């Protein structure tokens, strides 16, 4: 439940951008693509494994991944899905040998993938992306005090559709199940 709250708090109110090829970042870093789910989990990068699934409602939720790829240790990668498609991901990772937990190296690697440099303000890297895709990288400190780098890739339009679908689903008592994450009245 703690991770669900983190996802919701991170996703609310994040701006969208417009220009580079940001959709390719999830495939390059972890081995899955935004959009229709295919070749999953078999297509995950070597070292990245599926840790579990959490359903918000019958056909929307998140996949939890973890592992190590290209020297980055990812204790948690959360991938939001809605009706057969991945809409975004939020990953926390670090390179233990780097003083900045790998922020500089991850920004550089992602800039190479996207083909553009980010704007950096207040320690947060924002990339200009196509359509309504958001891509940010920022240093973060976890509850245990360890430094990590958070990489967020989100299709804002698909996320809005997911949110709207969940609201509509939860408003229909005939669809709701006891295990759904609908607000109980």
Question: What are 137-162's pLDDT values in tens digits?
Answer: 999 998 888 899 999 999 999 999 99
For 36-55, what is each residue's pLDDT tens digit?
898 899 999 999 999 999 99
CA nearest to 30, candidates 82, 83, 86 = 86
Hey, which residues does 94 pair with through a beta bridge? Answer: 73
Q: Could you give the percent of the chain with pLDDT greater than 70?
A: 88
Instruction: Output the pTM of the full model.
Output: 0.84
* Cα-based distances in Å from 122 to 10, 49, 126, 146: 17, 32, 11, 20
């Amino acid at each position: 439940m703690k991770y669900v709250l983190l996802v919701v708090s991170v996703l609310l109110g994040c701006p969208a951008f417009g220009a580079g090829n940001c959709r390719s970042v999830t495939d390059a870093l972890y081995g899955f693509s935004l959009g229709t789910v295919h070749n999953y989990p078999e297509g995950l990068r070597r070292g990245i494994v599926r840790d579990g699934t959490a359903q918000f409602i019958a056909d929307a939720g998140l996949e939890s991944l973890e592992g190590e790829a290209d020297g980055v240790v990812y204790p948690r990668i959360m991938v939001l899905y809605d009706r057969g498609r991945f809409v975004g991901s939020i990953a926390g990772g670090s390179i233990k040998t780097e003083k900045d937990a790998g922020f500089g190296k991850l920004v550089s690697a992602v800039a190479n993938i996207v083909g553009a440099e980010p704007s950096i303000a207040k320690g947060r890297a924002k990339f200009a992306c196509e359509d309504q895709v958001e891509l940010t990288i920022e240093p973060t400190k976890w509850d245990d005090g360890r430094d990590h780098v958070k990489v967020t890739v989100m299709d804002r339009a698909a996320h809005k559709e997911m949110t709207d679908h969940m609201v509509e689903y939860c408003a229909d008592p005939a669809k709701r199940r006891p295990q759904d994450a609908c607000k109980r009245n």
